Amino acid sequence: MKTPISLSNKTYALDGESHYLIRSIQPDDRERIIGLFIHLSPESRYLRFAHAISKLPDDFLDGILHLDYKKRWLWLR
């Protein structure tokens, strides 16, 4: 699936020689997202999801990993 131009990868410089990359979520990011979730404190999880949660639901992960960028992007036009 091709992402819209405005969702293309972008690299930004930090102080010194470091940089960071902003890109669209991709299906192979599943383990990275789970890893980020695991490192959230219980309070952060509660604030982010509006209830106590100890594991990301599979349907939530599937929803963010397989975004239809054409369909989701229409509301921004």
Q: In the chain, what are the domain boundaries?
A: 27-77
* Burial (Cβ within 10 Å: 0-12, 13-18, ≥19) of residue 21: exposed
3-state secondary structure of 11: strand
pLDDT tens for residues 5-33?
Answer: 456 788 999 988 899 898 888 899 999 99
Rounded distance between C-alpha atoms, residue 5 and residue 18, angstroms: 25
Q: Is the pTM of this model over 0.85?
A: no
pLDDT tier at 34, thresholds 50, 70, 90: very high
